[in-house]
Amino acid sequence: MASTGPEADAVRAAFREAAAAKGHAVENARRATDGLEAAFAAGTLERTPVLDAMLADLAVALDAPDDGGRLGGKSADAARRITGAIGRELDNA
């Protein structure tokens, strides 16, 4: 059963807003995911197996080099696609 209430709705909206913000898709996805993880930890949203799988896929796309190298286009494309899918799945969380 999906989490209900204004706090859950606010987390969903904040995730979608962060994921769609202007800027690099990888950085946006990191910010969006941080808020989502905090909501899971606080019990505001329920973590589902589907979301776990999507977040694991997203983690691979967000694994950028730490040496200050340029974030790749493939990572950005994957981040956009996966965050979009997570945004849709959040209605079930």
Q: Where are the domains positioned within the chain?
A: 6-92
pLDDT category of residue 76 using cuts at 50, 70 and 90: confident
Q: Which of 1-10, 40-49, 67-76, 77-86 has the lowest mean pLDDT?
A: 67-76
Are 86 and 58 in contact by the 8 Å Cβ rule? The answer is yes
Mean pLDDT of 57-70: 67
pLDDT digits (tens, 9 = 90+) for 9-53: 999 999 999 999 999 888 999 999 999 999 999 999 999 999 999
Taking alpha carbons only, the member of 70, 74, 93 closest to residue 16 is 93
Considering the entire predicted model, what is its pTM?
0.81
